């Protein structure tokens, strides 16, 4: 069971600093030309193959189901996270559930201004409820970092997450503006299964900083009683 994922890992040094426990995971963003943290599927394969302890997750924006199978075959990850709009079609969800043999994480992005979901339904609670039946876990990217210092916005986010937790049956992963300084309070307030961080452990955009990663993971571990695990 893992409780924290470092997303957007691009090199061995960053990956190895996470590979200390099965309670942690690395995510490699694969073949995404719009993402500065992207790596090729072959680089992802080499990074994943070197890991001995942590969970490996391929993060992709597929165009077809064949893309999912290709990543599974070439990269051999423990899980695959589907980002983008691929799951905006319920028929695609049904097809993926029917034929994939690897745990799939469905990803929902909430708009930082409107808090609307990017797939299935603009209402994130309804979107999660629709996604829940077809995936092994759900990753929600919401504007935690932007809104946590505002009491009104924070209360709204907490309300949404607890409404989601009331309808979801699969593990819930949260991310979006997390960093070492806020992860403790956010974890206690929301009690997700796991947390997901990317830019919050970078000093230069797109390049992970091992010291920041270690600080974050140590802090998450201190609050692990509030994390159920995936």
pLDDT digit string (tens) for 194-218?
999 999 999 999 999 999 999 999 9
Q: What's 42's domain CATH number?
A: 3.20.20.70
Q: Which domain holds residue 108?
A: 4-226
Per cent of the chain over pLDDT 90 is 96
User: Quick one: pLDDT at residue 166?
Assistant: 95
* Measured CA distances, 136 to 60, 67, 96, 104, 172 (Å): 16, 19, 11, 5, 10
- pLDDT grade for 19, boundaries at 50, 70 and 90: very high
pTM over 0.85: yes
Separation of alpha carbons 220 and 227, rounded Å: 9
The mean pLDDT value for 113-132 works out to 96
Please state whether beta strands 79-82 and 55-60 pair in parallel, antiparallel, or not at all (unpaired).
parallel
| Matching residue, tokens 């200390």 | 20
**How many domains does the structure of the chain reveal?**
1
Instruction: Give 86's DSSP letter.
Output: G
The mean pLDDT value for 32-55 works out to 96
User: Quick one: pLDDT at residue 165?
Assistant: 96
- pLDDT exceeds 90 at position 34: no
User: Quick one: pLDDT at residue 33?
Assistant: 83
User: Quick one: pLDDT at residue 14?
Assistant: 92
Separation of alpha carbons 103 and 156, rounded Å: 31
The mean pLDDT value for 18-27 works out to 97
pLDDT digits (tens, 9 = 90+) for 144-186: 988 998 999 999 999 999 999 999 999 999 999 999 999 999 9
With CA atoms as reference, report the closest residue to 6 among 33, 32, 37, 36: 37
* 9 burial via Cβ count (<10 Å: 0-12, 13-18, 19+): buried
User: Quick one: pLDDT at residue 146?
Assistant: 85
Separation of alpha carbons 56 and 19, rounded Å: 10
pLDDT digits (tens, 9 = 90+) for 70-105: 999 999 999 999 999 999 999 999 999 999 999 999
25 token code pair: 């995971």
Q: Output the average pLDDT for the chain.
A: 96
Is residue 105 within 8 Å of residue 79, measured between CB atoms?
A: yes
Which residues are CB-neighbours of 133 under 8 A, at least 6 positions away? 93, 97
- pLDDT exceeds 90 at position 29: yes
């Amino acid at each position: 069971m893992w409780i924290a994922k470092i997303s957007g890992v691009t090199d061995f040094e960053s990956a190895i600093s996470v590979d200390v426990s099965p309670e942690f995971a690395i995510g490699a963003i694969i073949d995404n030309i719009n993402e500065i943290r992207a790596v090729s599927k072959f680089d992802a394969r080499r990074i994943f193959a070197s890991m001995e302890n942590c969970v490996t997750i391929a993060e992709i924006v597929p165009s077809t189901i064949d893309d999912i199978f290709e990543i599974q075959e070439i990269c051999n990850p423990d899980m695959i996270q589907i980002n983008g709009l691929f799951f905006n079609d319920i028929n695609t969800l049904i097809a993926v559930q029917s034929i994939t043999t690897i745990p799939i994480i469905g990803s929902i992005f909430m708009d930082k201004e409107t808090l609307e979901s990017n797939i299935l339904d603009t209402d994130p609670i309804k979107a999660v409820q629709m996604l829940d039946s077809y995936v092994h876990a759900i990753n929600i990217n919401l504007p935690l970092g932007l809104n946590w210092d505002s009491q009104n916005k924070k209360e709204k986010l907490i309300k949404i997450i607890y409404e989601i937790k009331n309808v979801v049956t699969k593990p819930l992963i949260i991310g979006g503006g997390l960093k070492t300084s806020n992860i403790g309070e956010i974890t206690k307030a929301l009690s997700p299964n796991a947390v997901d961080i990317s830019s919050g452990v970078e000093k230069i955009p797109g390049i992970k900083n091992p010291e920041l990663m270690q600080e974050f993971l140590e802090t998450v571990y201190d609050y692990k009683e509030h994390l159920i695990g995936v």
